[in-house]
Chains A and B, each alone.
Chain A
Amino acid sequence: MLKTFVCRFTTASLVLALAAPALAATQLTGAGSSFVYPFFAKAFYQYGQENKDVTVNYQSIGSGGGIEQFTAKTVDFGASDVPMTADEVKRAGGEVLQIPVALGGEAVIYNLPSLKGALRLTRDDIANIYLGKIAKWNDAQLKKDNPGADLPDLAIVPVNRSDGSGTNYIFTDFLSHVSPEFKTKVGTGKSVQWPASAAVGGKGNEGVAGAVKQTPGAIGYVELAYAIENKLSQSMVQNKAGKWAECSLDNVKAAAATKPDVSPTNFSIVDTAAATAWPIAGYTWAFVYQNPTDKARAKITKDVLAWAVTKAQPIAGTLNYVPLPENVQQTALKTLAKVSL
Chain B
Amino acid sequence: MTTNPPQRPNRSAAQADRIFLFTLWAAVGIFAATMIGLIIQLIHGSWQSILTFGLKFLVTSTWNPVTGQFGALPMIYGTIVSSAIAILLASVIGIASATFLAEFAPRRIAQPLASLIELLAAVPSVVYGLWGLFVLVPLFRAYIDPFLQARLGFLPIFSGPIYGIGLLTAGVILAIMILPTVSAISRDVITAVGREQREAGMALGSTKWETTWRIVLPAARAGIFGACVLALGRAIGETIATTMVIGNKATIAASLFAPSYTLSSVIANEFTEATSDLYISSLIELGLLLFVLSFIVNGLARLLVNSVFSKSEGR
Contact = CB atoms under 8 A, between A and B. Distances in A.
Q: Shortest 3 CB-CB distances between A and B: which pairs?
A: A62-B272, A164-B273, A201-B248
Interface string B146-162: 00000000000000010
Contacts of A210: 130, 133-134, 137, 244
Interface string B33-74: 000000000000000000000000000001111110000000
A65 to B, nearest CB: 6
Contact of B130 (A64, A155, A187, A206): A206
B11 to A, nearest CB: 52
Nearest to B243: A203
Interface in A153-168: 155, 157, 162-166
B164 interface: yes
A214 B133 CA distance: 8
Nearest to B164: A214
Contacts of B64: 192-193
B264 to A, nearest CB: 12
Contact of A200 (B62, B247, B268): B247
B269 interface: yes
A127 to B, nearest CB: 16
B165 interface: yes
Given A62-B273, A191-B270, A201 B65 contact: no
Interface string A140-181: 000000000000000101000011111000000000000000
Contact of A214 (B62, B65, B134, B273): B134
Given A190-B65, A200-B247, A214-B134, A164 B259 contact: no
B133 A155 contact: no
A67 B275 CA distance: 8
A207 B133 contact: yes
A187 to B, nearest CB: 4
A277 B64 CA distance: 31
A202 B164 CA distance: 13
A339 interface: no
Contacts of B137: 210-211, 214
A155 B162 CA distance: 11
Nearest to A165: B273
A254 to B, nearest CB: 29
Contact of A189 (B65, B165, B243, B244): B65
A47 to B, nearest CB: 26
27 contacts: A34-B272, A61-B272, A62-B272, A63-B272, A155-B161, A162-B269, A163-B272, A163-B273, A164-B270, A164-B274, A188-B66, A191-B65, A193-B63, A193-B64, A193-B65, A198-B161, A199-B249, A201-B247, A202-B165, A207-B244, A210-B130, A211-B165, A214-B133, A214-B134, A214-B141, A215-B163, A215-B164
Interface string A61-98: 11111010000000000000000010010000000000
Contact of B133 (A61, A166, A192, A211): A211
A157 B163 contact: yes
B98 interface: no
A175 to B, nearest CB: 12
A232 interface: no
B250 interface: yes
A194 interface: yes
Nearest to B246: A201
B172 to A, nearest CB: 15
Contacts of A211: 133, 137, 165
Contact of B248 (A61, A64, A203): A203
Interface string A200-239: 1111001100110011000000000000000000000000
Given A162-B269, A202-B244, A203-B248, 15 more contacts: A61-B272, A85-B275, A88-B275, A164-B65, A164-B272, A164-B273, A187-B67, A188-B66, A200-B165, A201-B269, A203-B243, A203-B269, A214-B133, A214-B164, A215-B164
B275 A200 contact: no
B259 A200 contact: yes
A275 interface: no
A333 interface: no
B169 to A, nearest CB: 11
Contact of B269 (A88, A163, A198, A215): A163
Given A191-B65, A192-B65, A215 B141 contact: yes
